[in-house]
């Protein structure tokens, strides 16, 4: 599977560096795991990738809103280079992490989408030498219940199983190779 590149032109979501560098690039030291929708109710089919891509291009709230990747069961999209800071965590430090969303709706195979998210996480750990204990849920930064289903232990998944799946991909060096 190749990553579908859909790099955002909106400059509002390119946040300044906390510690300025000459090259203007952030070196991420954390990866933050998200899930679309914070509640546990069923997500309708219209909340698909196109819906979330439109929200990224035309955010309804904070104009700095962004994240780097979206995973579904069959596709992975990249919206920002991994060295860009963007507002996805509710905290300054969290916004220096790479943000990976996962699509949830009635048409998405939860298991396959989680595996894509885990493989992508392992790939970014390898790129930036990020340790497994720096792979954190959105909740870690802001207390927001995200990724809600994973934290609630639905569909035979939970946070520990996700982390051990990331480690499996990492050890097998089964990575996405086309990450910016
Ligand atoms: Zn989140």
Residues 48-57 pLDDT 10s: 999 999 999 9
CA of residue 143 to ligand 1 center, whole Å: 10
Residue 40 lies in a domain: yes
CA of residue 146 to ligand 1 center, whole Å: 5
Q: In CATH, what number is assigned to the domain containing residue 100?
A: 3.40.80.10
Query: Global pTM?
Result: 0.97
How many separate domains does the chain show?
Answer: 1
Where is 71: in which H helix or E strand? Answer: strand 69-71
pLDDT at position 29, please? Answer: 98
CA of residue 22 to ligand 1 center, whole Å: 30
DSSP class of residue 156?
T
Using CA atoms, how far apart are residues 119 and 169, in angstroms rounded to an integer?
6
pLDDT at position 23, please? Answer: 95
Q: What are phi and psi of 5, to 5 degrees?
A: -90, 125
Q: Work out the average pLDDT over 145-150.
A: 97
CA of residue 147 to ligand 1 center, whole Å: 6
CA of residue 95 to ligand 1 center, whole Å: 11
Q: Which residues surround ligand 1, an ion (CB under 5 A)?
A: 34, 138, 146
Q: Whole domain around residue 131: which residue ranges?
A: 3-172
- Which pLDDT tens digit goes with each residue over 83-124? 999 999 999 999 999 999 999 999 999 999 999 999 999 999
pLDDT at position 38, please? Answer: 83
Residue 71 lies in a domain: yes
Residue 149 lies in a domain: yes
CA of residue 112 to ligand 1 center, whole Å: 19
Residue 177 lies in a domain: no
CA of residue 137 to ligand 1 center, whole Å: 8
Residue 90 lies in a domain: yes
CA of residue 124 to ligand 1 center, whole Å: 18
* CB-facing half-sphere around the CA of 146: CA atoms within 13 A: 21
CA of residue 79 to ligand 1 center, whole Å: 16
Q: What is the CA 137 to chain-centroid distance, rounded?
A: 10
CA of residue 32 to ligand 1 center, whole Å: 8
Distances (CA, A) of 16 to 31, 90, 115, 122: 18, 15, 32, 26
Using CA atoms, how far apart are residues 48 and 87, in angstroms rounded to an integer?
21
Give the count of beta carbons closer than 10 Å to the beta carbon of residue 128.
16
Three-state DSSP class for 32?
strand
Residue length, the chain?
180
Residue 178 lies in a domain: no
- List the one residue out of 71, 76, 96 whose CA is nearest residue 84: 96
Residue 42 lies in a domain: yes
CA of residue 145 to ligand 1 center, whole Å: 8
Residue 179 lies in a domain: no
CA of residue 23 to ligand 1 center, whole Å: 28
- Which pLDDT tens digit goes with each residue over 20-69? 999 999 999 999 999 998 889 999 999 999 999 999 999 999 999 999 99
């Amino acid at each position: 599977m190749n990553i579908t590149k859909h790099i955002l032109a909106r400059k509002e979501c390119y946040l300044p560096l906390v510690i300025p560098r000459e090259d203007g690039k952030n070196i991420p030291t954390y990866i933050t795991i998200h899930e679309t929708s914070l509640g546990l109710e069923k997500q309708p089919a219209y909340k698909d990738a196109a819906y979330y891509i439109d929200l990224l291009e035309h955010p309804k709230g904070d104009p700095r809103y962004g994240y780097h990747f979206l995973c579904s069961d069959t596709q992975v999209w990249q919206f920002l280079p991994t060295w860009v800071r963007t507002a996805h965590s509710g905290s300054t430090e969290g916004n220096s992490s790479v943000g990976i969303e996962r699509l949830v709706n009635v048409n998405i195979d939860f298991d396959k989408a989680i595996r894509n998210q885990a493989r992508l996480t392992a790939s970014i750990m390898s790129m930036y030498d990020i340790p497994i204990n720096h792979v954190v849920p959105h909740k870690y930064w802001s207390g927001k219940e995200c990724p809600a289903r994973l934290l609630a232990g639905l569909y035979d998944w939970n946070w520990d199983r996700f982390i051990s799946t990331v480690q499996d991909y990492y050890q097998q060096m089964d990575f996405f190779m086309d990450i910016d």
